[in-house]
């Protein structure tokens, strides 16, 4: 089963970059998809308190009711139909595992987050890529079981248009909507599947704390659905993971406080400042990036082999970037602006020396 499973290549790039660092090179990291900010203080303080209060045991497999109730308020949704997971990664995998049968076709928009295709293949499904709403309509067949939506997108930073949500809702049996970047939108409106399928009767909405709250290492995500597959998802959680990390769950109760939101607003402001900086350079380099209004990525078309370019830039200029091939587009690269303004500026200046 693992023969069709690819490495998560960005982790390989990271280890090459770290090797250069060990050799004393000053590497600038623009490859990694995780916020560089510390987790907001109220959340960290709540974790310390949870530890002090011995909140160190398994929880209900669905997650602690207090956190499910907070999420229930946020989404106006029944807490019984919410499951807290070890990162949104597990929410994605468990949902797909509960939906897919061998040979089922799953639609994903190219370029895409690389783990989706691995999950689908691992489960015996078939990955079908689409480009836009017209292509999506053409690719729907009798075997289409599910679509994975991701807005804003990793790797493009773009948001999905209304038509794609609408077609998905009207034409496809199951929708898995990965909304992990939904809080990080700097311009315009990013739709949620809940805007189309209010009670999530044919959809699983997935989100998590990693990105918006700068909590990647806390491994906390969640899913919401009214579909009866929720019982199977729970079965998987009970067997494979028992329950999401307990201290993280108690800490995340503070994610919804006013004080924490102030931290989040500051992070968002800073991400947007960096985004504008990156876009300025993209224009100067004459690299097409589409309309990246969310997440913390841009995905320029560079007009040559992305993998070779990333290798060159890493070895000659010590800037780590992610090749587009991994996301389904060979002539692109992904730049993550989850690094400080000055580091990003220096990294892009180094690239400029190479290409202009």
Applying CB under 6 A, which residues contact ligand PMP? 33, 87-89, 113, 150, 154, 178, 180, 208, 210, 216, 221
Shortest distance (Å) from residue 152 CB to ligand PMP: 9
* Look-up of token digits 């693992």: 2
**Which DSSP state fits 81?**
G
CB nearer ligand PMP, residue 268 or residue 317 = 268
DSSP string, 32-68: --S--SPPPHHHHHHHHHHHHTT--S---TT--HHHH
Shortest distance (Å) from residue 177 CB to ligand PMP: 11
Shortest distance (Å) from residue 203 CB to ligand PMP: 16
Q: Which residues contact 253 (CB under 8 A, 6 or more apart)?
A: 46, 66, 67, 70
CB nearer ligand PMP, residue 3 or residue 93 = 93
The answer to whether the Cα torsion of 260, 160, 34, 60 is positive or negative is positive
CB nearer ligand PMP, residue 154 or residue 249 = 154
> CA–CA separation, 36 vs 16, rounded Å?
20
Residue spans of alpha helices (H) in the chain: 9-22, 41-52, 65-75, 87-99, 115-122, 133-139, 162-171, 230-240, 246-252, 258-285, 306-312, 341-355
What does residue 231 show for φ and ψ, rounded to 5 degrees? -70, -40
Shortest distance (Å) from residue 113 CB to ligand PMP: 4
CB nearer ligand PMP, residue 302 or residue 338 = 338
Shortest distance (Å) from residue 313 CB to ligand PMP: 22
CB nearer ligand PMP, residue 88 or residue 192 = 88
> CA–CA separation, 309 vs 315, rounded Å?
10
Shortest distance (Å) from residue 219 CB to ligand PMP: 7
CB nearer ligand PMP, residue 137 or residue 206 = 206
């Amino acid at each position: 089963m693992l023969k069709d499973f690819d490495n998560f290549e960005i982790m390989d790039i990271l280890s090459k970059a770290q090797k250069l660092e060990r050799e004393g090179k000053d590497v600038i990291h623009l490859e990694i998809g995780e916020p560089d900010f510390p987790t907001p203080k109220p959340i960290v303080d709540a974790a310390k308190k949870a530890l002090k209060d011995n909140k160190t045991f398994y929880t209900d497999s669905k997650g602690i009711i207090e956190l499910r109730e907070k999420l229930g308020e946020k989404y106006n949704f029944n807490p019984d139909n919410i499951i807290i997971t070890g990162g949104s990664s597990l929410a994605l995998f468990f949902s797909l595992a509960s939906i897919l049968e061998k040979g089922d076709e799953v639609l994903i928009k190219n370029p895409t987050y690389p783990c989706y295709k691995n999950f689908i293949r691992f489960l015996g499904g078939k990955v079908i890529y689409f480009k836009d709403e017209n292509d999506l309509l053409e690719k729907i067949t009798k075997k289409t079981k599910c679509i994975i939506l991701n807005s804003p997108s990793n790797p493009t930073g773009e948001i999905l248009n209304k038509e794609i949500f609408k077609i998905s809702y009207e034409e496809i049996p199951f929708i898995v909507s990965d909304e992990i970047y939904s809080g990080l939108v700097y311009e315009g409106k990013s739709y949620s599947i809940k805007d189309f399928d209010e009670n999530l009767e044919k959809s699983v909405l997935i989100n998590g704390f990693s990105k918006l709250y700068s909590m990647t290492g806390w491994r906390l995500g969640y899913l919401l659905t009214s579909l009866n597959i929720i019982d199977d998802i729970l079965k998987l959680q009970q067997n494979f993971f028992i329950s999401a990390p307990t201290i993280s769950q108690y800490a995340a109760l503070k994610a919804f406080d006013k004080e924490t939101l102030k931290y989040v607003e500051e992070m968002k402001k800073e991400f947007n400042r960096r985004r504008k900086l990156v876009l300025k350079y993209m224009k100067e380099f004459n690299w097409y990036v589409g309309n990246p209004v969310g997440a913390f990525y841009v995905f320029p078309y560079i007009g040559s082999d992305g993998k070779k370019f990333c290798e060159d830039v890493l070895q000659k200029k010590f800037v780590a970037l992610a090749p587009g091939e991994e996301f389904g587009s060979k002539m692109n690269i992904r730049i993550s602006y989850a690094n400080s303004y000055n580091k990003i500026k220096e990294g892009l200046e180094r690239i400029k020396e190479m290409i202009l």
